[in-house]
Amino acid sequence: AQSVTQPDIHITVSEGASLELRCNYSYGATPYLFWYVQSPGQGLQLLLKYFSGDTLVQGIKGFEAEFKRSQSSFNLRKPSVHWSDAAEYFCAVVTNSGGSNYKLTFGKGTLLTVNP
């Protein structure tokens, strides 16, 4: 079965430091991958997506992610974190249950705390 693992439940970084959030997926075919961000009390907002092509994808708010097939990973990065980046981050992969049905399988999330 398809799955997504986010190994880090909680990460704390200092403002201005670089950030990398890990995501590993389990899926046989070429995966369609996403990162979402959820601020407290809000819904999920799409940060970026990977479908094919260039393995380094750029997203909103200065985030990028790199798809590495050999490692089954899709890690999210940001060179310099801002206090407003404090939120929960979710990795997701498209899963297809046949025909036109599809779903997203989400990881359990990584909570990011930013220290001043």
Which residues of this chain interact with other proteins, rule CB under 8 A?
A: 32, 34, 36, 41-46, 49, 51, 90, 94, 100-104, 106-109
The nearer residue to other proteins, 11 or 15, going by C-beta atoms, is: 11
Compute the least distance from the CB of residue 116 to other proteins, in Å. Answer: 26
The nearer residue to other proteins, 14 or 100, going by C-beta atoms, is: 100
Give the phi and the psi of residue 30 in degrees, each rounded to 5. -65, 120
The CA distances from residue 21 to 1, 9, 28, 79, 101, in Å, are: 23, 10, 23, 12, 29
**Token representation of residue 70:** 């050999």
